[in-house]
Structure 1
Amino acid sequence: MVNTGQPSRACDPCKERHTKCDERRPQCSRCKKAGRKCTGYKDDFDINLRNETHIVARRVRARETHFQSLQTSLPIPYEQQAIALFFENFVLETIDAGYSRGFLAGLSPSLRTARADSLLSITVEAIGLCFLAKSMVNESIASRAVRGYARSLSRLQTTLRHEIDCISSETMISVYLMGLYEIMMPPKKDLHPWLAHLNGLTAIMKARNKETGLCFPGLGFLGAPDSALDRSSRNIDQKTPVNRWVVDDSNHDKETVYTECVTGRALNSSPVANGPWIHASLDDLVLRAQTILQAAPSLLESSHPEATANVERLLVAAHSQLSSFRDWPSGIHDHCQPKTISHHVDASEVSQLDVFPGKVDIYPNLYVAGVWNTYRTTLLRLCDVIAQCGMYLETDTMPFRETEEYQTLRTIASKTAEDICSSVAYHINNDWVQRITGASLQRSPKALGGLFLMWPLYAGSVLSIVPDIHRAWMRRKLRSIGVSMGLAQAVVLADTVDLRRSTDPFKPLIIAQGHVFMWSATMF
């Protein structure tokens, strides 16, 4: 029982009407004048022991409602909204270390310990504002993002002069985030400004590895029996985990972009003996393929007297790698194999569809899906290089496009491109896939799924070995991802695709660097 304040001694009718009572007895003047019966007054005992709990409770509820309305009316700073939105869309924690890796999983703990004016804090705020501006289409926030990014670049220059800070994990994450910022913002001068940050990240990692002797994990997937590769050139180390690189300073001839970025040094991948088989990781296969893929453009464009002989050697090497790549999926555990859950059939114009006609695949997690598409993209590029070599060496009596080999390459490319298309729904339309399957899938940040699809879709749309129907759909989907997910670079890539021409020999190099950039984030 609660009673508060000065008690009212008015008669009951006046209390009900909330009118002033003169408290005359036996009846008040107001009741007498109004011609109504005055029911009298309460005695002092009832007044002193009155129960006003319900009145107090009503007042408390009114105050709480008023306070809540004040709280909701207070604006949340854009910086807080931006950082929360960025984490929601791009940061993925590692759930099962045996079958997955996170994406920028180390950003949250690093940010918690970083100073408010540190390079990492400034960079995260800038990229968060950038993504928020793209989401809200707000020029004012975009201007704040640009100013924050300029401040971040200035702070980076200061950090790079410091002997220890320049190779710290926070610096590497910051440089990576700057590259991601450039992918979100439409380029004004350079077509691919994020490449500058990729090169910077490479330099930092090389310096860090030289200083600390650390090595970084690759994709960490074991593959098919590697009978086609030269086993005598491999270093077998039974003590090495299957998802780790082994650094070998004596071998310094693999100066590829992929090698330098993912490991920071020239290296040998060390496959692990498993009974009578020697398994090669996808890391190893991709590294070996990069030597061929990077050499192809200059050799195919060369007018050197020995150009034909060089192209013939390139063709033999590409055939060997293609054989190894085609065997790789058979060595993958069932848990990591894609599973077809639906077949989507639509008779309308294919290039205008959101889901490509055919199967829809799901994966254990986004990391596994990304590894598969890295494999598929490299396989497509190998097929395309073989086709270009064949056409380079063709004769008038036997056009390469009329050979059985070319038709086989087209069949491989068609199936591989369809596999990439069938993974799109899982990457960016998780809710739709769950409705179709009724299964509970691991939730992945939506924009991150779009980022993982950028380079496979770009590869499929620029390589002429891929059927035109797949190329057109991939190009449209790539542009759609750029517009809907705030990834301006995807729009730039889609707009540079010319479906009427054959493969541009230098565009596939952008594909390789894009995959390097994507996988670099799994190290942090």
Structure 2
Amino acid sequence: MSLFVTYVLVLGRSLESSRGLLELLTPALELEVDDSPLSLSLHAAAIQLWCLVNSRSFSSSDKILTEAYSRLRTAIQDPLQRGCESTVLAALLLQRYERFSAVWNQHEQCHVHRNGALALLRQQKLDGINSKHRGYLISQLFHSEVNICISKKISFQASEITWLRDQDLSILPSNPSTALDIIGASIASHQHKFTLLSAEEFITASKPDLSQWYQDLQDTEDQLNNWPSTVPRHWLPQTLQSGKHFDQSIITYAGYSDIYPNIQIASIWNLWRTYCLLLLQIKLALLGLFPNLDEPTGTTQDPRIPAFKVKSVQLAQVLVDSICQSVSFHLGNYIEPTSLSELMIPTILCTSYHDMDPSHISYTLYQKSSLFMSRDDHRRHVIVQGPWHMMGTLSHVLSILADSESHIPVHALREGQMNWVRTQFLRVLRLLRIDLEDLSATNQDHCQANPGDLHALNTVNSEIIAKRLMAALAG
């Protein structure tokens, strides 16, 4: 439990970047008895982490997980407990447990616990829930629903959380993560339309309708482009150079690593980048079918001069560059599955603000912020959290680029970008001990014999695994 609380719930977590779950658990736990639904759910999650770190199976937590389910069912029957924050948190935490299980087994999540948490909050009509953090609880469900819609390519408006539209959105926390989720809801709806591009009614749609959609895409793009200007200054990525700022054993993309205050903020930046890639894909697809949409009525665009397409390919390369440069921040020189001893013995090296000149203004801002961690604490929180977050980002990137309808062709990326993404994706799967059943036996043998030789891996099925993991991570 101490391991879980310290390296998952405390280090690298704050309400400044919260999506509404993990940051709330520590103060809530202090008020709980040992056999409460929340305490038991946390205990099961802690055992799960311990098992993953030490190469054991999930079965070690089955008994306590069953007790958590039983206590949660009992709590839901009690009108008083039904209105408590801790009951909702227990349901959300059990959904998080289900998420890890789905990733481990590479299947879609069952959303029973998330739906239960949503039902509890809807029944309490928001104001009835006994919690000063009810806005954060709603934020967690909002983030989850956007994630599901993006993964399944369904419209956000068609989802069951549309009841939020009737509420004052000021109930949601005013942090950059929530702002990005609101943009994500629009992107989910655009993506749903994009999947219908091949339908006859779309091809024969009137130009005014298509032009209006294109304008809506532009509005969403403007919101995305404006988002970086709204984040705190100490959130901005800083670029460091291998050999100059940090040890060369850390695997980098082109010799550089972008650093962030913590893994959570790095993950939020990468979500923004994947949203940019998605929107770029959709705009290129629409302009590919209707090249004059971005021109005023009565004018024509020369199809032989696809200026927008050239700029879009350049932007895609820059976005993928930034994602690649974040890999070393998440993984350091970490190439083999770790054990608990690695948290205490500094054999795994990570890039961080501690590699900067202490007099640098960015380091000073970091040191004065609530996100400051010692070098050792930063390294340990990266070891525990980094691979999981990187897996989600790389799964999303590969899924976008592998889409058969993608108008950001892989061959248009910078030379070596796609293969680097694939090999780092397989590296992450190995670190997390996720079964690579779609890879050949030869590839698995090679990976075990020489895990550091990443560029020699067979990456042909990376996209297949990535799409499966996207489905498992949704929610």
Provide TM-score, normalisation by structure 1.
Answer: 0.58
* Equivalence map 1:341-352=2 (5 Å): 341-342=240-241
The 3 A distance-change label for structure 1 pair 194 and 363 is farther
Residue 143 and residue 365 in structure 1: after superposition, are their counterparts in 2 closer, same or farther (change >3 A)?
closer
Aligned length, in residue pairs: 374
Does 1:320 pair with 2:219?
Answer: yes
Structure 2 residue runs of 5 or longer lacking an equivalent are 140-154, 172-177, 245-249, 293-300, 333-347, 359-366, 402-407, 441-457
What is the letter of the counterpart of residue 338 of structure 1?
P
CA contact (8 A) 1:381 1:508 kept: no
Matching residue of 2:189: 291
**Partner Cα distance (2:239, 2:38) in 1:** 41
- Please report how far the alpha carbon of residue 415 of structure 1 lies from its aligned counterpart in structure 2 after TM superposition: 0.8
Amino acid at match of 1:160: I
**Alpha-carbon deviations, 1:266-318, whole Å to 9, x = none?**
556569xxxxxxxx954543343333234432x22433367644655433322
Q: Following the alignment from structure 1 to structure 2, what is the Cα–Cα distance between the partners of residues 452 and 153? A: 27
Equivalent position amino acid for 1:108 in 2: T
Name the CA shift for 1:192/1:100 in 2 (closer, same or farther; >3 Å).
closer
Match of 1:193 among 79, 85, 109: 109
With over 3 angstroms needed to count, the CA separation of the structure-2 counterparts of 1:338 and 1:401, relative to structure 1, is farther
Question: In the alignment, does 2:6 pair up with 1:108?
Answer: no
Counterpart position of 2:257: 360
Counterpart contact for 1:366–1:449, Cα < 8 Å: yes
The answer as to whether partners of 1:260 and 1:266 remain within 8 angstroms in 2 is: no
Aligned partners of 2:204 and 2:94: how far apart in 1? 40
Write the distance in 2 (CA, Å) between the matches of 1:115 and 1:400. Answer: 68
Inter-CA distance 254–338: structure 2 relative to 1 (3 Å threshold): same
Structure 1 gaps of 5+ residues are 1-82, 220-252, 272-279, 346-352, 518-524
Q: Distance in 2 between matches of 1:99 and 1:367?
A: 7
The CA distance in 2 between the partners of 1:493 and 1:166, in whole Å, is 44
Q: What percentage of residue pairs aligned between the two structures are identical?
A: 18
Q: Which runs of structure 2 are paired with 1:22-37 in the superposition (5 Å)?
A: none
CA distance in structure 1 between the aligned counterparts of 2:11 and 2:191, rounded to whole angstroms: 33
CA distance in 1 between counterparts of 2:469 and 2:190 reads 12
Aligned match of 2:68: 152
Larger radius of gyration: 1
1:460-471 matched pairs, under 5 angstroms: 460-464=397-401, 465=408, 467=413, 469-471=416-418
> What is the match of residue 66 of structure 1?
none
Structure 1: how far apart are the matches of 2:303 and 2:61? Answer: 52
Secondary structure of 2:252's counterpart equals coil
Instruction: Give the counterpart letter for 2:320 in structure 1.
Output: A
Q: How far apart, CA to CA, are the structure 2 residues paired with 1:508 and 1:187? A: 8
Q: Are residues 265 and 315 of structure 1, via their aligned partners in 2, closer, same or farther at CA, if it must alter by over 3 Å?
A: closer
Alignment of 1:328-343 (within 5 A): 328-342=227-241
> Is it true that 1:418 corresponds to 2:321 in the alignment?
yes
Matches within 5 A, 1:80-479: 83-92=1-10, 104-139=22-57, 142-185=58-101, 191-193=107-109, 195-212=111-128, 214-216=134-136, 255=157, 260=161, 266-267=166-167, 269=169, 281-297=179-195, 299-304=196-201, 308-309=205-206, 313-342=212-241, 354-393=251-290, 403-429=306-332, 431-434=349-352, 436-437=355-356, 442=373, 443-444=377-378, 445-446=381-382, 447-464=384-401, 465=408, 467=413, 469-479=416-426
Structure 1 residues 87, 270: CA separation in 2 closer, same or farther (over 3 Å shift)?
closer
Structure 1 residue 481 corresponds to structure 2 residue 418? no
Question: In structure 2, the residue corresponding to 1:361 is in which secondary structure?
Answer: strand
Separation in 1, partners of 2:438, 2:117 = 22
Please identify, of 143-152 and 410-419, the stretch whose mean Cα deviation from structure 2 is larger.
Answer: 143-152
Quickly say closer, same or farther: Cα 1:216–1:256, change in 2 above 3 A. farther
Question: Would you say the 8 A contact 2:387–2:431 is kept in 1?
Answer: no
Opposite residue 227 of structure 2, the aligned amino acid is W
Could you tell me whether the CA contact under 8 Å between 2:398 and 2:422 is conserved in 1? yes
Report the CA distance shift for 1:98/1:187 in structure 2 as closer, same or farther (over 3 A).
closer
Cα RMSD (Å) of the superposition?
A: 4.7
Q: Whose helix proportion is higher, 1 or 2?
A: 2
Q: Note the C-alpha offset of 1:211.
A: 4.6
Q: Which runs of structure 2 are paired with 1:14-93 in the superposition (5 Å)?
A: 83-92=1-10
Q: How far off its partner does 1:475 sit?
A: 3.7
The DSSP-based 3-state class of the residue aligned with 1:300 is coil
TM-score normalized by structure 2? 0.63
3-state SS, counterpart of residue 241 of structure 2: strand
TM-fit CA distance, 1:383? 0.8
